[in-house]
Chain A
């Protein structure tokens, strides 16, 4: 048995580096990610929000797309294969470094300005699209409001923002996710642990949050996530 496995691996040849990242599972069937050490659960699911977002990018090339979820191989490959320029910010890492779980600090104007200077320090109207994933949900109202204003500034007119929010507003804890684009319609969702939500949003609150934008579209998923596409 051991020998045959070894033989198989020899015949398969060297594993490419990209395969070192957690692999995709069958549709909707979660599994524990091997070797990640964080008990990550991976699954692939359809995403109408992503489909709409990608649809807006497909007709053109050379667009500037900002991913706030930190760089991962899948998203870089996908966006650059469409001929766009990929920008990366590890929003959550900086958020945790700066606020370190201090909620009160997220209302401090100088700390808010410092944080936005670290993660969203771009010229006005720089981006054609921003992928914010579920990161806006981590923030307290004052910080979130300032971040939305900044995002509205750095997006070009007619640019799109993709964001996810949990739809059940009675949840005590929500899962932590990272998202990888598998194809224009499917996302690999990597779940690692839980966190207490700072805010939960219903449709009306989301519309209010994005009132500076031209249009807001919602798509509800089976995982109680509201996928939101916002157009400036």
Chain B
């Protein structure tokens, strides 16, 4: 391996979640590329793997099909469950997807629930629930909207809870717009970055 390569590796931070670990490897000789992949696999494989999964699951955290969890799950991000869960699952502001191999024996509270696997327990979905065609749900549902595909098995009750319409964001924008002239002028680039955020 060349000296140049050694120096480069020393500069790289070793943390698994560093931005550099996700960066594609620089073009190099085939032999060197192979070596690097072997050496760094223990560090970088996890973030790279996560990135691929995140893309396919829409950025959700994942419980794989070989995983069993007994207890309480609280999540502040979307969650994809393809394994077994027993206990309670709460994602108050987020979406829970139960994959085709997922088997949940728990009470569920989430903003949105999409079932492709099996659920046994009561479900509260403040926004909506979808029960896909091969899903099986035994329990009582409380939700604002429901979609049941033909072929889904459902045993239980459905209580449609009318949610109060959310406060329209438009007036807030007006307020923000009204507030802008009072505030100090912001450079064009900075305001564009803020808008992106």
Taking a contact as CB atoms under 8 Å apart, the answer to whether A76 and B153 are in contact is no
Taking a contact as CB atoms under 8 Å apart, the answer to whether A90 and B150 are in contact is no
82-102 of chain A: CB within 8 A of chain B? 85-90, 93
B69 at the interface (CB under 8 A from A): no
Q: Which residues of A contact B149 (CB under 8 A)?
A: 17, 20-21, 73
Closest chain-B Cβ to A114's Cβ sits at a distance in Å of 16
Q: Mostly helix, strand, loop or mixed at chain B's interface?
A: strand
Report the number of A-B residue pairs with Cβ-Cβ less than 8 Å. Answer: 48
Taking a contact as CB atoms under 8 Å apart, the answer to whether B150 and A76 are in contact is no
A72 at the interface (CB under 8 A from B): yes
Taking a contact as CB atoms under 8 Å apart, the answer to whether A70 and B160 are in contact is no
Taking a contact as CB atoms under 8 Å apart, the answer to whether B154 and A90 are in contact is yes
50-77 of chain A: CB within 8 A of chain B? 64, 70-73, 76
B71-93 to A contact mask, C-beta < 8 Å, 1/0? 00000000000000000000000
CA distance A18 to B147 in the complex (A): 7
If A17-B130, A80-B160 touch, whether A88 touches B150 (CB-CB below 8 Å) is: no
Interface size of B by CB at 8 A reads 16
Q: Which residues of A contact B22 (CB under 8 A)?
A: none
Taking a contact as CB atoms under 8 Å apart, the answer to whether A76 and B155 are in contact is no
If A20-B149, A76-B146 touch, whether A88 touches B154 (CB-CB below 8 Å) is: yes
Taking a contact as CB atoms under 8 Å apart, the answer to whether A88 and B159 are in contact is no
Taking a contact as CB atoms under 8 Å apart, the answer to whether B148 and A71 are in contact is yes
A7-47 to B contact mask, C-beta < 8 Å, 1/0? 00000000001101110000000000000100000000000
CA distance A36 to B156 in the complex (A): 25
Q: Which residues of A contact B147 (CB under 8 A)?
A: 17-18, 73
Taking a contact as CB atoms under 8 Å apart, the answer to whether A72 and B157 are in contact is no
Taking a contact as CB atoms under 8 Å apart, the answer to whether A85 and B155 are in contact is no
Taking a contact as CB atoms under 8 Å apart, the answer to whether A21 and B153 are in contact is no
Taking a contact as CB atoms under 8 Å apart, the answer to whether A36 and B154 are in contact is no
Q: Which residues of B contact A64 (CB under 8 A)?
A: 157
134-183 of chain B: CB within 8 A of chain A? 146-150, 152-160
Taking a contact as CB atoms under 8 Å apart, the answer to whether A22 and B150 are in contact is yes
7 A–B pairs (Cβ distance < 8 Å), ordered by A: A20-B149, A71-B148, A80-B158, A80-B160, A88-B154, A88-B158, A89-B155
| New A-B contacts (20) at CB < 8 Å, excluding given A21-B149, A85-B157, A87-B157 | A17-B147, A17-B149, A18-B147, A20-B149, A20-B150, A21-B150, A64-B157, A70-B153, A70-B154, A71-B131, A76-B146, A80-B158, A80-B160, A85-B158, A86-B157, A86-B158, A87-B158, A88-B154, A88-B158, A93-B153
List chain A positions with a Cβ less than 8 A from chain B.
17-18, 20-22, 36, 64, 70-73, 76, 80, 85-90, 93
Closest 8 CB pairs of A and B: A71-B154, A80-B160, A86-B158, A87-B157, A17-B147, A21-B150, A88-B154, A71-B148
